[in-house]
Amino acid sequence: MAKADETVFLWLNGLVGKLPFFDRIVELVVSDYLIPVSLALALVGTWFAGGDKLARQRHQIGVFVALSAMALSSLVVFTINAAYFRPRPFVDHEVTRLFYAPTDSSFPSNPAAAAFAIAVAVWAVNRRLGSLLLAAAALYGFARVYAGVHYPLDIVAGALIAIVVTFLTFKIRDLLGPILTWVIKVGRIFCVA
């Protein structure tokens, strides 16, 4: 499986330089700004979305879940990285990078885990926006492979961690529902919810 992972990575990264316009787009997508900031803005929009009080509360709880799932996914990735370190592709192979050289473990991808955690949580409360965010997270993962900083399995593992953690976070949400509802009610008093 690792050999196939490397083969797919080398094929994708081998395309860098053949389509300069596409490379510029990937540089924009893989940056620390476009997708992460878009996801953050989507969470802000989700917080205030909803035609009535009940719908808005459902979206706000979704935002709490998204932020919690993102943090918990990052914790899972951090724990795995403490036990297993996979060198970045540019360490073991001749690659063309379109992004700076991160020094942390390649497997699993923390940026992919964070992006997918937000996207899955939003999808659970708003299918249309969530589908767009899932596409953005997948594009972000693809860009990180194409740009030479992750193997494909790093992205897949990050996404799977995010899906499982987000599902479990929604289950915990059921236990914490009264507390979250109270926090939202207090936020409404101060006009932030």
User: How many other β-carbons are positioned within 10 Å of the β-carbon of residue 41?
Assistant: 10
pTM of the model: 0.90
| pLDDT of 193 | 62
Q: Which domains does the chain have, with CATH numbers?
A: 2-188 (1.20.144.10)
Residue 171 has which token pair? Answer: 């289950």
Could you state, in chain order, the average pLDDT of each consecutive group of 10 residues for the chain (193 residues)? 86 93 96 96 93 88 92 96 95 91 94 98 95 98 96 97 95 74 72 66
Residue 91 has which token pair? Answer: 């360490």
| Angle, in degrees to the nearest 10, between helices 110-125 and 127-146 | 170
| pLDDT of 181 | 72
Residue burial 23-40, b: 16+ Cβ < 10 Å; e: rest: beebeebbbeebbbeebe
| pLDDT of 57 | 85
Residue of 137, 150, 112 lying closest to 39 (CA atoms): 137
Residue 52 has which token pair? Answer: 């009535």
| pLDDT of 187 | 73
Residue 139 has which token pair? Answer: 């594009």
Q: Phi and psi dihedrals of 172, rounded to 5?
A: -65, -35
Residue of 9, 171, 146, 29 lying closest to 86 (CA atoms): 9
- As a whole number of angstroms, the distance between CA 35 and CA 19 comes to 22
| pLDDT of 50 | 82
